[in-house]
Amino acid sequence: MVGQVGAARRELAELISPQPGTQVRSRADWLRLTAAGLIPLTAFLAFASVRMTGGSPNPLNHLGYLPILIAAYAYGWRGALAVSAAIAVLLGPLAAWLVLPGGTEQVDAWLIRAAMFGAVAAITGVLFDHARQAMLGWRTAAIEVAQRERDGMVALARGAEAKDTDTGDHIVRVQLLSEELAQAIGLDAAAAADIGWSAMLHDVGKLHVPDRILLKPGPLTADEWQVMHQHPIYGERILREGAGFEMARRIARWHHENIDGSGYPDGLKGERIPLEARIVRIADAFDAMTSVRPYKPARSVEWALAELERHGGTQFDPEIVRLLLEMVRQDRALLARLAEHRISAAA
């Protein structure tokens, strides 16, 4: 079931993409298209093998089961029965009707074989149909589990965000930007979606940070910063027991690590910092700089990009910073989508 949930997360990403279920339908279409080509090909090979080796009776008549099994797998019992009838004629009376060279069987022989073909077609077709229905049930249950996981992620993230009212839809913007960055790096849509959803929980540890610190309008004292620096550890602890939160745990713990090792809480350096944490580090910083916070006004997009570029190689992964700069400067629609969430939060 664990494997089914993992596959369901990927399928769920497809189902909530701009073209829902396209890849799932495409796989089924390719299966039927491939079967439509293999069935006549294997049927012809069975017929040719029998005729080229002296006709019937012939043990090579058993090759007729191959196209039947392909049809059962691809089309179920109805398709398999139709193919079995065609194969029975092809390997039975057709040679006699066409007066082809080689031996031919008596009517009772090919009728018995036709009955066997039909029985195998019906049995295997029904079994494949039942297997398909069972897999559909497992997939549906796994998708529901994956959706509940994501609902739980959103609920936790909203709980943390509710303590910091000035951040608005910060978690949604970080999710969007993290997913876009992951795709720009070259990850597939499903993996990028996993990073995006997990990114929503990056600050869940702030649930343990007192409001007097979290909402303080002025600079924090050294002691207050020490408390604030614990929130990645708190976040990992909150997510420690939840199955399916592995990536969210890594992001929560290490999204404040710096590429040069100067970050917190563990001082990880370079590629020892998980890729998803490096992505969220940049998405979080960009949104924080361009948003109003209790202790500062919002900065312009260009100011934020320049700041990220200036600290590339020290605080931030320079390659991911480069990709963000390209994305934002070339795709103005991305900024519009981020702004929509900023506007909706203000409303």
Which residue's structure tokens are 């929560």?
252
Instruction: Tell me the CA end-to-end span of the chain in Å, nearest whole number.
Output: 42
Please give the Cα distance from 342 to 334 (Å, whole number): 13
CA-to-CA dists, residue 295 to 71, 181, 289, angstroms: 67, 28, 11
**321 within 8 A of 286, measured Cβ to Cβ:** no
The mean per-residue pLDDT over the stretch 169-180 comes to 91
pLDDT per position as a tens digit, 189-202: 989 999 998 999 89
Amino acid, res. 8? A
CATH number of 163-346: 1.10.3210.10
Give residue 325's region: left, alpha or beta (phi > 0; psi -120 to 50): alpha
Report which of residues 175 and 145 the model is more confident about. Answer: 175
| pLDDT tier for residue 17 given thresholds of 50, 70 and 90 | very low
pLDDT at 317: 97
CA distances from 82 to 88, 123, 165, 313 (A): 10, 13, 65, 65
Arithmetic mean of pLDDT, 87-94 = 90
Q: Which residues pair with 55 in a beta bridge?
A: 103
Q: CA distances (Å), 305 to each of 81, 296, 302, 327, in order?
A: 65, 17, 5, 11
10 has a pLDDT exceeding 70: no
Q: What is the pLDDT of residues 246-264, one digit of tens each?
A: 999 999 999 999 999 999 9
Flag whether pLDDT at 236 surpasses 50. Answer: yes
Percent of the chain with pLDDT over 70: 83
Rg of the Cα trace of the chain? Answer: 31
pTM, full prediction: 0.62
Q: Provide the pLDDT for residue 3.
A: 46
Q: What is the pLDDT of residues 260-286, one digit of tens each?
A: 999 999 999 999 999 999 999 999 999
Comparing 111 with 143, the larger pLDDT belongs to 111
pLDDT band of 158, cuts 50, 70, 90: low
- Lowest mean pLDDT: which of 63-67, 127-131, 132-136, 325-329? 132-136
Residue 156 amino acid letter: L
pLDDT at 156: 64
Helical packing angle, 107-162 and 2-15, nearest 10°: 80
- The pLDDT of residue 25 is 57
Q: Which residues are catalytic?
A: 206
Cβ-count burial of 106 within 10 angstroms (0-12 exposed, 13-18 middle, 19+ buried)?
exposed
Q: Where are the domains of the chain?
A: 2-142, 163-346
Segment 139-156, tens digit of pLDDT: 777 777 667 766 766 666
pLDDT bin (cut points 50, 70, 90) of residue 136 is confident
Average pLDDT, the chain: 84
**Residues of the chain with pLDDT > 90: what percent?**
53
Q: Of all residues in the chain, what percent are helix, strand and coil, respectively (each to 5)?
A: 75, 0, 25
Q: Which two tokens stand for residue 149?
A: 């996981």
Closest residue by Cα to residue 32 from 79, 85, 77: 79
State residue 239's pLDDT score. Answer: 86
Residue 296, beta-bridge partner list: 293
